[in-house]
């Protein structure tokens, strides 16, 4: 059965250098979690503490309520029923594909071992390649072997350490979707470590953004993108720009493109200077809109363009536009905002949580400036 993981208030250091500082999160049975962050943020150390490769200075690591690591507790890795898929696959070159998968099944009867290997070969799509050697396979095939080997002993928890980093972009995207399907089919609780947010979004149910040994936000992919709680999370996830804004006496927030009323009570007094996050999908191309912006740059993506647009007062925004709207650099186009979530940060406290939902502005807000066509 899949296990519940509780990683509670864990701190760790190498010599006198703090690496983890009070990190806490939980993963429900059968769910896939991801630790996402830049190199050196501590995400791989979290994985090593879960696996038992590193002790913890404080806090606890528990599987289904049983403590595996604490200040004076360290259950050996081999007794934790945790599978690990390493960044470099770590396959044995002298063993066949079938031999690699069977490596952790040496205590099982031969017939049972053979049946499990054949089952996993089919699950990972390598049914006819059991007799081949790792060096005869592509990178994607080797990654499937590494996954099958980790799944073979039926672990309670699976850890994946940057598992797709050695593959090309197309293969990474395809394999991440396949791996998610396999983990869900096998009902495996898993924790993935990556610096690639596309991988995280493709595979994870919950994502923790890490910075300097702490978790900035632990949330669903949807909420991380649309409702980041800190300026760092907003910058790290997705693309977006910040427009300067001001809190008005009526509680609305005014930016160059209009006024927007938070659903919740205002967080700041009137006159507070804020920065409002706009994602490319918040800025819609609308030929009928009186609001216009100038195309500064465009990136063709096949089905759509990503336009960088300059507003009348100098601010810049991104906009995703269907590619049949082919506008030249320097051309003015009509735009309008469609904000389901207003995400703003006080300018003098940019890293404090400050995300609120927003209602759409009135059809013709008085504060909207209309540049000449």
Instruction: Give average pLDDT by consecutive 10-residue segment, the chain, 373 residues.
Output: 94 93 97 96 96 96 97 94 89 96 90 95 93 94 93 94 85 88 93 94 96 97 93 92 93 90 74 94 94 96 95 94 95 92 79 41 31 29
Residue 129, SS3? coil
Tally of residues, the chain: 373
Residue with the two structure tokens 């044995």: 92
In this structure, whether the domain defined by 239-357 belongs to CATH 2.40.50.140 is answered with yes
Count helices and strands in the chain by DSSP H and E runs: 8, 22
Distance, C-alpha 325 to centroid of its chain: 31
Non-local CB neighbours of 356 within 8 Å, separated by 6+ positions = 262, 263, 264, 267, 341, 342, 343, 344
User: Which pLDDT value is given to residue 373?
Assistant: 27
Which residue, 335, 237, 325, is CA-closest to 279?
237
Task: Pull the structure tokens for residue 319.
Answer: 């906009």
Crossing angle of helices 110-123 and 139-151, in 10° steps, is 140
β-strands 73-74, 214-219 pairing: unpaired
What residue ranges do the domains of the chain occupy?
5-226, 239-357
In CATH, what class is 5-226? alpha beta
User: Which pLDDT value is given to residue 339?
Assistant: 84
User: Which pLDDT value is given to residue 37?
Assistant: 94
User: Which pLDDT value is given to residue 369?
Assistant: 28
Evaluate whether 342 touches 276 at the Cβ level (below 8 Å).
Answer: yes
């Amino acid at each position: 059965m899949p296990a519940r993981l509780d990683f509670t208030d864990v701190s760790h250091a190498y010599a006198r250098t703090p690496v983890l500082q009070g990190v806490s999160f939980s993963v429900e049975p059968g769910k896939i979690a991801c630790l996402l962050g830049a190199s050196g943020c501590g995400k791989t150390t979290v994985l090593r503490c879960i696996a038992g490769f590193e002790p913890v200075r404080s806090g606890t690591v528990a599987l289904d309520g049983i403590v595996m690591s604490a200040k004076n507790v360290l259950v050996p890795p081999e007794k934790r029923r945790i599978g690990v898929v390493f960044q470099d696959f770590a396959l044995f070159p002298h063993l066949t594909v079938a031999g690699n998968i069977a490596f952790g099944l040496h205590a099982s009867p031969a017939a049972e071992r053979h049946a499990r290997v054949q089952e996993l070969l089919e699950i990972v799509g390598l049914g006819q390649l059991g007799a081949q050697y790792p060096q005869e396979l592509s990178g994607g095939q080797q990654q499937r072997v590494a996954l099958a080997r980790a799944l073979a002993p039926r672990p309670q928890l699976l850890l994946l350490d940057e598992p797709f980093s050695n593959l090309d972009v197309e293969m990474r995207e395809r394999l991440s979707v396949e791996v998610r399907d396999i983990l869900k089919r096998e009902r495996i609780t898993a924790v993935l470590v990556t610096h690639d947010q596309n991988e995280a979004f493709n595979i994870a149910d919950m994502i923790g953004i890490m910075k300097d040994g702490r978790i900035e936000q632990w949330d669903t992919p949807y909420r991380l993108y649309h409702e980041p709680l800190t300026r760092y999370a907003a910058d790290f996830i997705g693309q977006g720009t910040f427009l300067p804004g001001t809190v008005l006496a009526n509680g609305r927030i005014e930016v160059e493109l209009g006024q927007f009323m938070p659903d919740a009570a205002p967080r700041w007094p009137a006159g507070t200077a804020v920065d409002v996050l706009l994602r490319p999908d918040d800025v819609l191309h609308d030929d009928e809109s009186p609001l216009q912006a100038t195309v500064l740059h465009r990136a063709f993506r096949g089905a759509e363009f990503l336009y960088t647009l300059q507003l009348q007062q100098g601010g810049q925004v991104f906009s995703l536009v269907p590619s049949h709207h082919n506008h030249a650099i320097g051309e003015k186009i009509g735009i309008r905002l469609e904000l389901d979530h207003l995400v703003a940060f006080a300018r003098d406290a940019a890293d404090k949580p400050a995300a609120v939902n927003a209602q759409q502005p009135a059809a013709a807000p008085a504060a909207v400036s209309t540049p000449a066509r």
